[in-house]
């Protein structure tokens, strides 16, 4: 039975992996929160890997606050860069397959067509740059790794766009949402299942992959669909803007191409609207 460590286990994706794990009885999971294992603390991390044996490590621990990262650059790079280097070194030393999550924000959004794994990176913000640093460390250190770049993650857990829209609509607060950025909302439950399927299939097709739901929309389009599916659109105080000011610059177009993932792992890509409906059906 393969033994899998999941870091950052109480975060959004970690929580979704806990749910997905029930569908994989042949896999043995160890879930650790950031409080139990702070990945930026090198000595603690090294010690932890010495005392425990794993076949896989899924690293979901990350600094994910895109806005705050602009003024907290040192910590963003400490967690998304240097701490990832520590994990990569421990995985290499202990012959563990590392599975790491990265982001569409490593791209600058100027391509205007779905991004391939081989496209040039050029992050526009600190968060994207810190995640790219982590990618580079893994590629330099490890030979057995999967990096899954994903986009616009949401779920029933944590703080995310979906939950914010629902909260604001319930409180009848105005929602002014940007049309400036186009991407693909991705259900974190789908990503969790996809990663565990890769493990279950004993794949050795290591490397960089893009994984998201299929289709594309703007943040305004995502908000509109959330409210439509919840039958709240008619009464919502929703407006669009093409000038929404933020501290962090964001790519105008960051849709990811799933073709490589589909080719190697033969897992269907679910349309983002359908996946949103699946979440509502399951958790309403």
Position 172 in a domain: no
Position 226 in a domain: no
In the prediction, which pLDDT does 90 show?
Answer: 94
In the prediction, which pLDDT does 38 show?
Answer: 86
Point out the catalytic residue in the list 63, 105, 115, 127: 127
244 pLDDT above the threshold of 80: no
pLDDT tens per residue across span 6-48: 999 999 999 999 999 999 999 999 999 988 988 888 888 899 9
Q: Is 241 helix (H, G, I), strand (E, B) or coil?
A: strand
The pTM of this model reads 0.95
User: Quick one: tokens of 199?
Assistant: 């493990």
Position 133 in a domain: yes
Position 64 in a domain: yes
Count of domains for the chain: 1
127 annotated active-site: yes
Cβ–Cβ under 8 Å, residues 212 and 105: no
User: Quick one: tokens of 186?
Assistant: 């991705």
Count Cβ neighbours within 10 Å for each residue of 118-154 and write b for 16 or more, e otherwise.
eeebebbbbbbbbbbbbbebbeebbeebbbbbbbbbb
| pLDDT (mean) for 160-187 | 91
Position 90 in a domain: yes
Position 171 in a domain: no
Domain with 89, as residue range(s), is 2-158+188-214+255-270
How far apart, in whole angstroms, are the C-alpha atoms of residue 9 and residue 12?
A: 8
Q: Are strands 153-154 and 186-187 parallel, antiparallel or unpaired?
A: parallel
| Cα distances (angstroms) measured from residue 91 to each of 29, 33, 38, 97, 177 | 16, 18, 16, 7, 41
Position 223 in a domain: no
Q: Is 98 helix (H, G, I), strand (E, B) or coil?
A: strand
| pLDDT (mean) for 82-93 | 95
Looking at per-residue pLDDT, the higher value among 269 and 206 belongs to 206
Residue 13 sits in a domain whose CATH number is 3.40.50.720
Overall size of the chain counted in residues: 284
In the prediction, which pLDDT does 283 show?
Answer: 76
């Amino acid at each position: 039975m393969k033994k899998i460590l999941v870091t950052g286990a109480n975060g959004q994706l970690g929580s979704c992996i806990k749910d997905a794990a029930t569908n994989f009885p042949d896999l043995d999971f160890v879930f650790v929160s950031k409080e139990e294992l702070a990945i930026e603390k090198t000595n603690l991390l090294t010690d932890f890997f010495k005392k425990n044996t794993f076949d896989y490590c899924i690293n979901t621990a990350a600094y994910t606050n895109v806005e705050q990262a602009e003024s907290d650059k040192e910590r963003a790079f400490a967690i998304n860069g240097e701490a990832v280097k520590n994990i990569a070194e421990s995985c290499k030393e202990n012959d563990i397959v590392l599975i790491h999550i990265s982001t569409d924000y490593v791209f600058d959004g100027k391509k205007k067509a779905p991004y391939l794994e081989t496209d040039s990176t050029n992050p526009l913000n600190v968060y994207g740059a810190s995640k790219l640093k982590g990618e580079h460390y893994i590629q330099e250190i490890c030979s057995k790794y999967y990096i899954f770049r994903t986009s616009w993650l949401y779920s029933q857990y944590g703080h995310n766009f979906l939950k914010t829209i629902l909260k604001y609509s319930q409180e009848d607060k105005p929602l002014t949402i940007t049309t400036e950025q186009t991407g693909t909302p991705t259900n974190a439950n789908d990503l969790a299942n996809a990663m565990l399927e890769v493990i279950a299939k004993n794949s050795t097709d290591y490397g960089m992959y893009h994984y998201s739901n299929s289709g594309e929309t703007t943040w305004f389009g995502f908000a509109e669909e959330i409210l439509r599916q919840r039958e709240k659109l008619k009464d919502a105080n929703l407006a669009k803007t093409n000038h929404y000011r933020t501290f962090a610059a964001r790519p105008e177009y960051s849709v990811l191409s799933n073709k490589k993932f589909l080719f190697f792992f033969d897992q269907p890509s679910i349309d983002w609207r359908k996946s949103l409906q699946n979440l509502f059906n399951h958790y309403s």
